[in-house]
Structures are given as C-alpha cells and as structure tokens.
Amino acid sequence: MSKELYIFLAILIMAIVTYIPRAIPISFMKHEIKNKYVKSFLFYVPYAVIAALIFPSILYVTDNMIIASIGAFIALVLSFFRQKLIVVALVSVVSVYGLLWLFQLLGW
C-alpha cells in the first residue's frame, strides 16, 4: 500500500468511527438506555481513555523527563483548582519552555 493510500484510508476510517457514535444514537434512538451496567460503562470510558492517552505519553513530550514531569504536575495542580482549559495549557507550555532554557543554561 502506498503511503498516500494508507493516510487516505486511515483518515476515512477515523472519520467514520467518529461520525457513527455521534450521529446514530440521536438519529435512531427514540427511548433511553435502561441497563445500568451499559450506562455505567459508557459513563466511565471517557475518563479511562483520556487517562490512558495522557500517561505515560506526557512524560516524553520533551527529551528531558524531569521537565515533562514538572509540566504535568503543574497542569495537575492548576486543574485541581479548576482553572480554565486555556490557562492550564498556557501555563504548562510556558513553564516547560522556561525550564528547557534554565536546564540548558545550568548545563544539566
């Protein structure tokens, strides 16, 4: 398979599996899901997915794992105190950027 075809198919598949869960229930479901286990599973999945997406990948966003860990910790603390998404993101980016310079200047 050529690289172009691979990317094209990957995007097509991504679009389809993104569209189906969004559009099908609202288009065809006329009553509510009653089963509490199905409801519970659907309730927990987003948190589990996002958690697995973050860790441990976040530790490898820079070559220096210590800096990445500090960045992750700052994001955790800010989120705990319910700061806005954009604030959490900006402060983390600026901190990591500052630390990268600091570590270089210190020769670590």
Partner 1 sequence: MLGYIAVSFSFGVMAVGECGITPLVSIIISLTNLTSSGQQAGVKMISEAASLLEIGLTVLLINLRYSLMSLSLSQKIDQDTPTGLRLLFGFGISDEVYAVAVTEREKINAKYMFGLILLPFLGWVFGTALGAYASKVITDDKLLSALGIALYAMFIAIIIPDARRSIKITFVILVSISISCFLYYVPYVNTIGLGFKIIISTVISSLLATFLFPISDDIEDIDEKGKEDIENE
Residues of this chain, 46-75, that bind partner 1 according to CB under 8 A: 46-58, 61-63, 68, 71-72, 75
3-state secondary structure of 49: helix
What letter would DSSP give residue 60? G
On whether the CB atoms of residues 95 and 105 are closer than 8 A, the answer is: no
The only residue of 2, 21, 105, 106 in contact with partner 1, by rule CB under 8 A? 21
Judged by CB under 8 A, how many residues of this single chain contact partner 1? 74
Query: Is 108 among the residues that bind partner 1 (CB under 8 A)?
Result: no
Query: Is 105 among the residues that bind partner 1 (CB under 8 A)?
Result: no
The answer for residues whose C-beta is within 8 angstroms of residue 88's C-beta and 6 or more apart is 75, 78, 79
How far apart are the C-alpha atoms of 65 and 39, rounded to whole Å?
Answer: 38
Query: What minimum distance in Å lies between the beta carbon of 76 and partner 1?
Result: 6
Query: Is 29 among the residues that bind partner 1 (CB under 8 A)?
Result: yes
Query: Is 76 among the residues that bind partner 1 (CB under 8 A)?
Result: yes
Q: Which of 56, 77, 60 has its CA nearest to residue 68?
A: 60
Query: Is 94 among the residues that bind partner 1 (CB under 8 A)?
Result: yes
